[in-house]
Every structure is written in structure tokens, then in C-alpha cells.
Amino acid sequence: AVNRHVLAEQTVVSRSAGITNSSPWAGPAETGPPVSGGWLDMAPEPRMVETSCVVGVRELVSTRLLSHHVMDTITEARAPSTRHLYALKWVVFMKWCRLNGHDPENCTVSDILEFLQQRMDSISMPSTLKVYVAAISAFHATVNGHSVGKHDLVNRFLRGARRLRPPRPPTVPPWDMAQVLEALARPPFELLQSVGLKELSFKATLLLALASVKRIGDLHALSVNTDCMQFGPGDCNVTLKPRSGYVPKSLSTPFRAQVITLPAFTPELAASNAAPHRTLCPVWALCAYVDRSAHFH
């Protein structure tokens, strides 16, 4: 469920000021299609890695010949979410090694394969085993000059696991966007002036996500803060900018330095058969959400 308290965390946007050419936001802009991914500042704060994970990583740092500053820089090569996932998997491996009398950093490849086999026997899927291998490779000493993940036996084990446990066909049918949009244009998501905040939050979030067509990480960088969102004159459009300090998981994404401009569905567009009805306008839904959530600020 959408956390509406998080959604309403930022200050309300003043829609009286439009976007001008002299705006400090000047830069490469993206204009999304009328309807087709942005969260309303619903990004959770980065999860703190469990204490055991932090301790495990620090133990590794202390055993290396590199300084803490160098290790910190190297660590930033991976996205925070990836580091968090690797740390969790590494702690599982460390616990297994300690129970079996192995050194997690310097154990043999056969020990690692035994660990992977036990995880596979406990219903771990090949995709999960691959994450374990990546995590172990990140912390384990090299074997014959190569990382654990490049060892021939490890790769053959993963291939065998995929043959024994092929990917399962999807059990959930693909969602029908037309059906979803049709539902959003009816109660309990209409009329915007009278729907509950929960339904309004759902609708505004989904429409903004569809209209901006962004990755989940990029959507989490959006905010209703006035530094990140401004409405055009008469709410004719909305311009969204990533929050300051946003670091995308993929450093090659251009969204880090871009803004998104979404046009509103004008009455003329709403009357056209080629355009969606205004009840599906992300700008209108966002305006209604900002007004409705003002009492949270």
C-alpha cells in the first residue's frame, strides 16, 4: 500500500509560479506521452544494513592491505541496494562457514559448492544462487588469480542448477492497461474532489508512473518539494526534477541531469477521440493530491 504519510512529507507546491526560460531548472527536458512510471516522493529512506552485515564487511576491510578510504571508494562501485543484498547473502555464507569450521574468505571452491548445494536443496532458485556467487566473489580471496564467480566448477554448477530447476512460467497473467485505466476513471477513484486520500494517492502515483515512463529508482527520486516540482500557468503542465543528491543505480542513465515535463489534458484534448479523458490526467491527479495532502505539512 502507498505510504501516504511519506507521500505528503514534502512542502506543498505553490502552483502560482510557472516555469520560465530563466528558471534554474534550465537543461535537457523530457516530455512524456499523455499517458504511458514516477512516485510522489514515496521513496523509502535507504535501508540500513543489519548490524551483522556491517560488522562482517568491516572485518573484511580490516584484513586487507588497503586503507579504509580506498575501500570506501571501491565500495561505491556498486549501488547501495546491491551492496545491501550482497551483505545479506555474505552473512548467510559466513554463518555457514563458521558452523562448518571454514574461513569464509579463504575456503576452497569445494566448500563454496557444498554451501551452494545446501542452499539449492533448501529450495533456493538458480537466480538466488547466482546472487550468492556474486556476493561471495565480492568478499572471497581470488582462486588461481580469478574471482570465485569465474571458476569453471562454479559456472558449471550454476548451469546444472538451471537445468535441474528451469525458470517457472509466470503464474500471474499480464495486466491489462486499458482495463486499469478504465477502472481509474470510475469510483472509487473518481471524483477527485471527493475520493479518499488512499485512493487519490494510488491514482496519482500510478498515472505519474505511466506518464513519466521511468525506472523504479528514477521514480523514487521524484518529490513534491518545490525544488523538484513546479506547475505551469493554470496547471497546464508539471515539471519534475530528481531530488538533489540522487545517484541512480545505473550511472549511465541520463535522468540524473534531466527534468520531466508532463502536459495536462486540456478540455480540447479531452473532447478528442485520440486523447484520454481528463479523469486520467496525471497533472490533474497530482494537483488534487498536493492540495489534499496540504494538512500533513
* Residue 13, φ and ψ in degrees, nearest 5: -80, 135
CB distance 181 to 280 below 8 Å: yes
pTM of the full structure:
0.53
Give the angle subtended at the CA of 207 by the CAs of 205 and 211, to the nearest 5°: 120
Q: List, in order of start, the domains of the chain with CATH numbers.
A: 4-45+177-296 (no CATH), 51-164 (1.10.150.130)
Query: Mind listing the pLDDT tens digit for each residue in 204-219?
Result: 999 999 998 888 778 8
Q: What is the pLDDT of residue 157?
A: 97
Q: What is the pLDDT of residue 285?
A: 92
Query: Mind listing the pLDDT tens digit for each residue in 255-277?
Result: 556 788 999 887 555 445 444 56
Strand partners of residue 262: 238
The label of the residue with cell 551492496 reads 83
Cβ neighbours around 275 below 10 Å, total: 16
* AA letter at 143: V
The label of the residue with cell 493554470 reads 234
Pairwise CA distance, residues 221 & 42, whole Å:
9
Cα 153 to Cα 148, 150, 159, distances in angstroms: 9, 9, 10
Q: What is the pLDDT of residue 78?
A: 84
DSSP string, 36-66: ----SS-PPPPPPPPHHHHHHHHHHHHHSSS
The label of the residue with cell 571458476 reads 151
Q: What is the pLDDT of residue 87?
A: 92
- The stretches in the chain having pLDDT less than 50 are 1-60, 270-271, 273-275
CB distance 185 to 279 below 8 Å: yes
Query: Mind listing the pLDDT tens digit for each residue in 167-183?
Result: 887 777 788 888 999 99
